[in-house]
Chains A and B, each alone.
Chain A
Amino acid sequence: DAEITQSPRHKITETGRQVTLACHQTWNHNNMFWYRQDLGHGLRLIHYSYGVQDTNKGEVSDGYSVSRSNTEDLPLTLESAASSQTSVYFCASAPQKGEQFFGPGTRLTVL
């Protein structure tokens, strides 16, 4: 069965370190998205991609980057982790204008 996975599921890191969160989907969807979810803020879009080599900034992109070298993967990198980036991160994929399929999330703690 097709699926979307995220790794790691939990991560603790220190301020200033570079961190990469992985997202892998086997739906063959062109569209992929990264969100963060915080109490009181709902879901906020970080970056998104509509296909290989395409990346776009979302509403809270500062301090984050993505790259899309193939259809299946959209890794999210925190260049220099800050305590304000402690959050739960969700990756999602979608066909053209269809519903999004979400991964299980990564809980990131920055100390």
Chain B
Amino acid sequence: GNSVTQMEGPVTLSEEAFLTINCTYTATGYPSLFWYVQYPGEGLQLLLKATKADDKGSNKGFEATYRKETTSFHLEKGSVQVSDSAVYFCALIPNTGGFKTIFGAGTRLFVKA
């Protein structure tokens, strides 16, 4: 079946450090891939997305590249800020079988000043 696996947290970094959150997926064909972010006390919101192989999604300094050969969609940011502290969810929508989104378990990020 379809699934998303992301690295367990929490991840703790100092301000201006480099961030990588790993995400791999299992799905047939070419799913659409997403990263969502959830700030404390809020609902999830879309951070970036990619809909086909080799696409790079980017937003607010975050990037992720759709790698079909490794079934991965790792999230990266070159220099994190305290305001990036949040929970990050990797997700996919399969290209067949309905419109449900499959979410990973989420990775909590703490950024220290």
Contacts and interface: CB of A to CB of B under 8 A. Distances in A.
B32 to A, nearest CB: 6
A52 interface: no
B89 A43 contact: yes
Main SS of the interface on chain B? loop
A102 B91 CA distance: 14
A90 interface: yes
A75 interface: no
A90 B44 contact: yes
Contacts of B61: none
Contacts, number: 45
A1 interface: no
A50 B43 contact: no
Nearest to A104: B43
B43 A103 contact: yes
B99 A50 contact: yes
Interface size for chain B: under 10, 10 to 19, 20 to 34, or 35 or more residues? 20 to 34
A97 B99 contact: yes
Interface in A2-47: 31, 33, 42-43, 45
A39 to B, nearest CB: 10
A42 B4 CA distance: 12
B45 interface: yes
A102 B95 CA distance: 22
4 A-B pairs with the lowest CB-CB distances in the bound complex, closest first: A102-B43, A42-B105, A99-B46, A102-B44
Given A45-B100, A97-B32, A102-B43, 5 more contacts: A33-B101, A97-B93, A100-B44, A102-B44, A103-B43
Interface of B: 32, 34, 36, 41-46, 49, 89, 93, 95, 98-101, 103-106
5 contacts: A43-B89, A97-B93, A100-B101, A101-B46, A104-B42
